[in-house]
Amino acid sequence: MSNVRTNEEWLDDLRASGAVQEAAIADLRNLLLRTVLFFFSRNLGDLGGLARDETLQLAEDCAQDALIAVMNHLSDFRGDSKFTTWAYKFAVNIALMTARRERWKGVSLDELSFSDDSALFEWMREDKSRGLVPDQSAMQSEVGETIREVIERDLTDKQRQILIMMVFNEVPMDEVVRRLGTNRNAIYKLLHDARRKLKSGLQERGFEVGETLALFSAQG
């Protein structure tokens, strides 16, 4: 009866032995499988290369991995949410990483890192002066140039590579993590540092937030 356990009962039963533990594990695994299938059903585009049976088997594998992760982290549960909500996040995390890997598995690292400077700033170079007075149009171009300058001059090679992959080529973080053999925290830090430099660069040139966003949100 998975849905009627309290947090304490979950922990007690999962740490018990024999039939009590087996029943709790079976209930938990079923909930984790449901979580994985819930994610898969909403992200079928990522799994388009798989037959239905393969997708269902992948869900079973993810649920099993999530079960192991939850059991290994039981002592981390602080009781500040329902136990099941806490457990679901392991399943969602594994399901998301698996789905993204399937989606991008045929694409090479070179393609993910591809940066064609002309395409990179294509959108910024388009005529977006519609609805803007000449001064605003000129300022919009200056913002674009400032961003380009910061990216080319102030970012490290690694920051630039990650920015191109994730922001311009829209590669999911977990695929970048997997291809570069790193972790989410490291990638997030690189992007965070890049954003800080871009923010400073824009502000140093007098482009404050409201005015700058208004320039670009005015586009039809």
Partner 1 sequence: MKSESFENWLRNIYKTQDEEISCTECFDLVSRFVELEVSGESAAAKMPQLKQHLDQCRACRDEYGTLRELRRLEDEGEAPSVDDLRNSIR
C-alpha 19/C-alpha 6 separation (Å) is 18
Write out the two tokens for 179: 């291809």
The mark string for 62-91 relative to partner 1 (x by CB under 8 A, - otherwise) is --------------x---xxx-xxx-xx--
Question: In the complex, what is the shortest distance from the CB of residue 164 to partner 1, in angstroms, rounded to a whole number?
Answer: 11
Q: Are the CB atoms for 179 and 109 separated by under 8 Å?
A: yes
The residue written with tokens 């990522």 in the block is: 46
Nearer to partner 1, 192 or 205 (CB): 192
Residue 123 in contact with partner 1, rule: CB under 8 A: yes
One-letter amino acid at 164 equals: I
114 binds partner 1 (CB under 8 A): no
194 in Cβ contact with 159 (< 8 Å): yes
Under the criterion CB under 8 A, does residue 98 sit at the interface with partner 1?
no
How far out from the chain centre does Cα 155 lie?
Answer: 22
Residues 23-62 that bind partner 1 (CB under 8 A): 30, 33-35, 37-42, 44, 52, 55-56
**Does residue 212 interact with partner 1 by CB under 8 A?**
yes
213 sits near partner 1 (criterion: CB under 8 A): yes
Q: Distance (Å, rounded) from C-alpha 164 to C-alpha 166?
A: 6
Q: Amino acid letter at 18?
A: G
Query: Both tokens of residue 21?
Result: 């533990």
Binding-site size for partner 1 (CB under 8 A) equals 54
C-alpha 166/C-alpha 102 separation (Å) is 17
Per CB under 8 A, residues contacting partner 1 are 30, 33-35, 37-42, 44, 52, 55-56, 76, 80-82, 84-86, 88-89, 92-93, 95-96, 123-124, 128, 166-168, 170, 172-174, 184-185, 188-189, 191-192, 195-196, 198-199, 202, 209, 212-213, 216-217, 219
